[in-house]
Chain A
Amino acid sequence: MPLQQGSARMRQRTVLLLGIVVLLAALVLAVVLASLLTHGRHEVGPKMLKWKDRGTTKNLQEVVLGRCYNYITAQHPELGDKDCLKIWESLKDAFIYKNPCNITPEDYQPLMELASHPIPCNKSLFWSKTGDLVHRYTKSNQNFLTLEDTLLGYMADRISWCGDPSAPGINYESCPKRNECESNPSSVFWKMASKMFAEAACGVVQVMLNGSVEAGAFRSSSIFGSVEIFNLNPDKVSEVHIWLMQDIGGPQSESCSGHSIQRLISILEERNFKIICEDNYRPVQLLQCVHNPDHTDCRLCTNST
């Protein structure tokens, strides 16, 4: 009957209309949710902790991966079996979503194992308060390796990272300074990497110290003074050569006969290492002279030669 058909058609149309409305509502909801979620991913979560040091380096993954591949492909093909993706993942897992004041050596154990490699004897070069000079030296003389010339140190040099329990798990705004908490991702990393670098050393090892620093060339509070010298293995390491470098034209705060150096020597001798200390080791001084060619210390023929 026409009336019944009419009402059936109306019911159909209503159902259709309702269906369309529901679909539209679902679509709008989906769009709103999507924008909220992506918005949240790029923004600092309001619950993220705030610290005093610079935050995680942007594009950390690309930088670390690129450095890893650069190191093993372009510079050290003998390490060709290293898996850079796995290495990156193990670094990320060490700190992501964790409170950055609760980092432990165990967090870094997988990374340390994946990225460590043997160091040839007689090539280990330690340093304290001579960062610029020592790395300029190893860049021009590849007979020596600092920690930053090993895969682990090379990847981590000059970048920063820390996590946070709230999403996205990485804090790009700020990271804890050492005086805010000691067990922060960076301090724990460098302490552990330094310990392993010292343990791996064999033969004659070298250390470049700064004789122009007022507080003394050797400090027990430095990583060298608190971690590295105590992790040198007397069964593997025979001698320690100290290069005491003073700034050209700078203060001559300390030389090999100075107090802190004598203290260092006695600590090392107690552990049965033979020590040689040299003031202003000439090959490194020549590098300093490149930027101070007119200074009297930089004349080509010195009285001592």
Chain B
Amino acid sequence: KWKGEGTTQNLESIVIGRCYDYIRIVNPSIGEKNCSQIWEAFKNAFINKDPCSILPEDYELFINLTFHTIPPNKSLFWENNQLLVNSFADRGRRYMSLGDTLFGFVGDFLNWCGQADSPGLDYESCPTTMECENNAVESFWRMLSIIYAKHSSGVIHVLLNGSAAGGAYPQPGFFADYEIPNLQKDKISQIVIWVVDDIEGPDIDSCGAHSVKTLETRLTALGYDVTCTDNDK
């Protein structure tokens, strides 16, 4: 029916398990959360609805239940370099990327969608963003990107892939469309951009050039103190 992969099998066990994993092991400092309630809020955002009619706001209750503050100077935004970000962020100890927050942690790498007039999850197929923008997964990450950007403070870091085809700063993209517009200027002291090429990868983009220059110009025009470094060691 749809062109995308269906809902991840055992989604409920995975989400609830990750929720407890986070509050018991990964980051117990955020305190007690009700993981069953969190699963219900997550599910209710998209079940029993047309899978092309899910909006970021539908996840509001989920956000309310999973929210915790992001320590200042620890926000790490990124595009096209998830593996590098994972080891760079050191599981939230050095930096806290969106995937290191409770709300991002439970949804990372998973896929899901529902169907109209049925409380069940669709395990067969789900709409891709090309088929419709307002799908369950896209809206989830849009909402989370907005929240993550809104609550970031201090020195914020952006890790871009200088070997990515099409440029290190993708437009459209989550960082461009949902994160930059929601940064709180009065809470941010500096924006540090790192452009890192894949090891033995092509050097397509760098500071002061092409899409990175576009990004630097945009952020400076918005009034931020911006620095950029190439090929972080």
Find out whether the CB atom of B87 lies under 8 angstroms from the CB atom of A139: yes
CB distance from A247 to the nearest CB of B (A): 15
**Contact flags A189-222 to B (C-beta < 8 A → 1, else 0):** 0000000000000000000000000000000000
Number of A-B contacts defined by CB within 8 Å: 79
Asked whether A59 and B10 contact (CB < 8 A) given A140-B87, A286-B233, A290-B232, the answer is: no
Find out whether the CB atom of B10 lies under 8 angstroms from the CB atom of A73: yes
Residues of A within 8 Å of B233, CB to CB, are 286, 289-290, 293, 298-300
Asked whether A73 and B8 contact (CB < 8 A) given A67-B21, A159-B25, the answer is: yes
Q: Check B83 for interface membership: any CB of A closer than 8 A.
A: yes
**Complex partner residue of B21 from A66, A140, A286, CB under 8 angstroms:** A66
Find out whether the CB atom of A59 lies under 8 angstroms from the CB atom of B14: no
Q: For residues 1 through 58 of chain B, which have their beta carbon under 8 Å from a beta carbon of chain A?
A: 8-10, 13-18, 20-21, 24-25, 35
* A57 CA to B90 CA, complexed, in Å: 22
Q: For residues 53 through 72 of chain A, which have their beta carbon under 8 Å from a beta carbon of chain B?
A: 57-59, 62-67, 69-70
Residues of A within 8 Å of B232, CB to CB, are 290, 293
* A186 CA to B219 CA, complexed, in Å: 51
CB distance from A201 to the nearest CB of B (A): 24
Find out whether the CB atom of B90 lies under 8 angstroms from the CB atom of A136: yes
**Complex partner residue of A57 from B13, B25, B86, B110, CB under 8 angstroms:** B25
Q: Check A84 for interface membership: any CB of B closer than 8 A.
A: yes
Asked whether A136 and B87 contact (CB < 8 A) given A290-B232, A293-B232, the answer is: yes
Interface residue count for B (Cβ, 8 Å)?
Answer: 27
Q: Check A224 for interface membership: any CB of B closer than 8 A.
A: no
Find out whether the CB atom of B18 lies under 8 angstroms from the CB atom of A70: yes
CB distance from A81 to the nearest CB of B (A): 13
Find out whether the CB atom of A74 lies under 8 angstroms from the CB atom of B88: no
Residues of A within 8 Å of B15, CB to CB, are 66
Find out whether the CB atom of A74 lies under 8 angstroms from the CB atom of B16: no
**Complex partner residue of A137 from B14, B35, B87, CB under 8 angstroms:** B87
Residues of B within 8 Å of A73, CB to CB, are 8-10, 14
Q: Check A287 for interface membership: any CB of B closer than 8 A.
A: yes
Q: CB-nearest residue of chain A relative to B25?
A: A158
* A66 CA to B25 CA, complexed, in Å: 13
Asked whether A65 and B83 contact (CB < 8 A) given A73-B8, A290-B232, A293-B232, the answer is: no
**Complex partner residue of B10 from A69, A136, A159, CB under 8 angstroms:** A69
CB distance from A130 to the nearest CB of B (A): 14
Residues of A within 8 Å of B8, CB to CB, are 73-74
Q: For residues 281 through 298 of chain A, which have their beta carbon under 8 Å from a beta carbon of chain B?
A: 286-287, 289-291, 293, 298
Q: For residues 195 through 218 of chain B, which have their beta carbon under 8 Å from a beta carbon of chain A?
A: 199
Q: Check B68 for interface membership: any CB of A closer than 8 A.
A: no
**Complex partner residue of A69 from B14, B20, B90, CB under 8 angstroms:** B14
Find out whether the CB atom of A66 lies under 8 angstroms from the CB atom of B24: no
CB distance from B7 to the nearest CB of A (A): 11
Q: CB-nearest residue of chain A relative to B17?
A: A66
CB distance from A145 to the nearest CB of B (A): 15
* A74 CA to B8 CA, complexed, in Å: 7
* A293 CA to B229 CA, complexed, in Å: 12
* A139 CA to B84 CA, complexed, in Å: 9
CB distance from B93 to the nearest CB of A (A): 9
* A292 CA to B30 CA, complexed, in Å: 29
* A57 CA to B25 CA, complexed, in Å: 8
Asked whether A140 and B83 contact (CB < 8 A) given A62-B35, A69-B10, A293-B233, the answer is: yes
Find out whether the CB atom of B86 lies under 8 angstroms from the CB atom of A66: no
* A154 CA to B160 CA, complexed, in Å: 30
Q: CB-nearest residue of chain A relative to B23?
A: A59
* A65 CA to B86 CA, complexed, in Å: 23
Asked whether A69 and B94 contact (CB < 8 A) given A139-B86, A139-B87, A290-B233, the answer is: no
Residues of B within 8 Å of A140, CB to CB, are 83-84, 86-87
Residues of B within 8 Å of A63, CB to CB, are 17, 20-21, 24-25
- Given contacts A65-B17, A69-B14, A84-B13, list 10 more A-B pairs with CB under 8 A: A59-B20, A62-B13, A62-B17, A63-B24, A66-B14, A69-B13, A73-B14, A74-B109, A136-B90, A293-B232
- List 6 interface pairs A-B (beta carbons < 8 Å), by A numbering: A58-B24, A74-B109, A74-B110, A136-B90, A290-B88, A291-B94
Contact surface of A with B, Cβ cutoff 8 Å: 57-59, 62-67, 69-70, 73-74, 84, 132, 136-137, 139-140, 142, 158-159, 286-287, 289-291, 293, 298-300
Chain A to chain B: the 5 pairs with minimum beta-carbon distance, closest first: A66-B17, A140-B87, A69-B10, A59-B20, A293-B233
